[in-house]
Chain A
Amino acid sequence: MRIPLSWLRDYVDFNVDAQTLAHDLTMSGTKIEAVHAPAPEWQGVQVGRVLESGQHPNADKLSVCRVDVGGEELRIVCGAPNVRAGLTVAVATVGARLPGGVKIRKSKIRGEVSQGMICSARELGLGTDAAGILELDSALESGAPFTGVPGSDETVLEAEITPNRPDCLGLIGVAREVAAVYGTPLKRPPVWSEAVAEPAPVRIELADVQDGLRYLGRAIRDVEVGPSPAWMQARLASMQLEPINNVVDVTNYVLFETGQPIHAFDLAAVRGDRIIVRRARAGEKLRTLDGVDRELDPDILVIADAEGPVALAGIMGGVESAIQPSTRDVFLEVAHFRADLVRSGRRKLAIDTDASYRFERGTDAASVRWVADRATQLLLEVCGGAVREQHDDAYPRPLAPIRLHLRSARANRLIGTELGAAEMARLLQRLQLEAEPAEAGVDVEVPTFRRDLQAEIDLVEEVARVHGYDNIPEDVLPPAPLMQRPNARHEFLTRLRHTLVGLGYREVLTSAFMDRSDPDRLQLASDDVRRRVVRVRNPLVASLDTLRTSLVPNVVRVVRHNIHHGSAALRLFAVDRVYVAVEDSSEGLPQESERLVAVACGARRPEGWAETLQASDLFDLKGDAEALLEHLGVDSVWSAGYTEPFLDFAASFMISGSYGTVGGGGLVAEEVLRAYDVDTPVFLLDLDVDALVRHLPERRVFKGIPRFPAVKRDLSLVVPRRVAYEKVHAAVVGAGGPLLESINCFDVFEDRALGEDKHSIGLRLRFRSPERTLTDDVVDRQIDAIVRRLSETLGVELRRL
Chain B
Amino acid sequence: MVEQAGALRQRIATMRDTALAQLQSVADREALEAWRVRWVGRKGELSALFVSLSGFDSAQRPQLGRELNTLKSTLHEELQQVESRLRGDSGAGPKVDASLPGRPRWVGGHHIALQVLDEMLAIFERLGFSIATGPEVELESYNFEALNFPPNHPARDLQDTFWIDDRVLLRTQTSPMQVRIMRSQPPPVRIVVPGRVYRNEQIDASHAAEFFQLEGLYVDRNVSMIDLKATVSHFVQRLFGSGRSVRFKPHFFPFTEPSVDVDMTCFACQGRGCRVCGNEGWIEIMGAGMVHPNVFEASGYDPEEVTGFAFGMGIERISMLRHGINDIRLFLENDVRFLSQF
Contact = CB atoms under 8 A, between A and B. Distances in A.
B115 to A, nearest CB: 9
A605 B200 contact: no
A690 interface: no
Contacts of B190: 481-482, 484
Interface in A478-529: 478-482, 484-487, 489-490, 494, 497, 500-513
Nearest to B292: A457
B192 to A, nearest CB: 10
B137 A506 contact: no
A458 B257 contact: yes
Contacts of B252: 162-165
B132 A540 contact: no
Contacts of A510: 332, 334
Interface stretch (B16-24, B34-42, B54-62, B163-171): B163-171
Contacts of A579: 136-137
Nearest to B127: A478
B144 interface: no
A415 interface: yes
A413 B224 contact: yes
A232 to B, nearest CB: 29
B210 A608 contact: no
Interface residues of A, number: 90
B233 interface: yes
Interface string A449-483: 00000010110110011000110111111111110
B108 A509 contact: no
A608 B152 contact: no
Interface in A532-558: 534-540, 547, 558
A507 B109 contact: yes
A509 B225 contact: no
A188 to B, nearest CB: 26
Nearest to A504: B106
Contacts of B332: 509-511
Contacts of A513: 210
Contacts of A487: 130-133
B103 A537 contact: no
Nearest to B167: A588
Nearest to B232: A474
Contacts of B248: 469-470, 472
Given A457-B257, A507-B109, A589 B293 contact: no
B304 to A, nearest CB: 8
Interface stretch (A274-282, A328-336, A559-567, A663-671): A559-567
B136 A561 contact: no
Contact of A534 (B164, B229, B258, B307): B164
A538 B196 contact: no
A562 B335 contact: yes
A489 B257 CA distance: 33
A469 B162 contact: no
Given A479-B218, A540-B203, A509 B226 contact: no
B111 A547 contact: no
Given A535-B164, A538-B162, A360 B125 contact: no
A45 B162 CA distance: 50
Given A484-B128, A486-B130, A504 B105 contact: yes
Given A163-B155, A477-B230, A460 B128 contact: no
A704 interface: no
B136 A592 contact: yes
A29 interface: yes
B146 interface: no
A478 B231 contact: yes
9 contacts: A340-B152, A461-B250, A478-B227, A479-B218, A504-B105, A506-B108, A507-B109, A588-B167, A611-B103
Interface of A: 26-29, 31, 162-165, 340, 343-344, 360-361, 413-416, 455, 457-458, 460-461, 464-465, 469-470, 472-482, 484-487, 489-490, 494, 497, 500-513, 534-540, 547, 558, 561-562, 565, 567, 570-572, 577, 579, 587-590, 592, 605-611
7 tightest A-B CB contacts, nearest first: A481-B128, A504-B106, A29-B250, A162-B252, A416-B226, A416-B224, A469-B248
Interface of B: 100-111, 113-114, 118, 125-133, 135-139, 151-155, 157-158, 162-165, 167-168, 170, 188, 190, 196, 198, 200-203, 209-210, 218, 220, 222-227, 229-234, 245-252, 257-261, 290, 292-293, 307, 331-337, 339-340
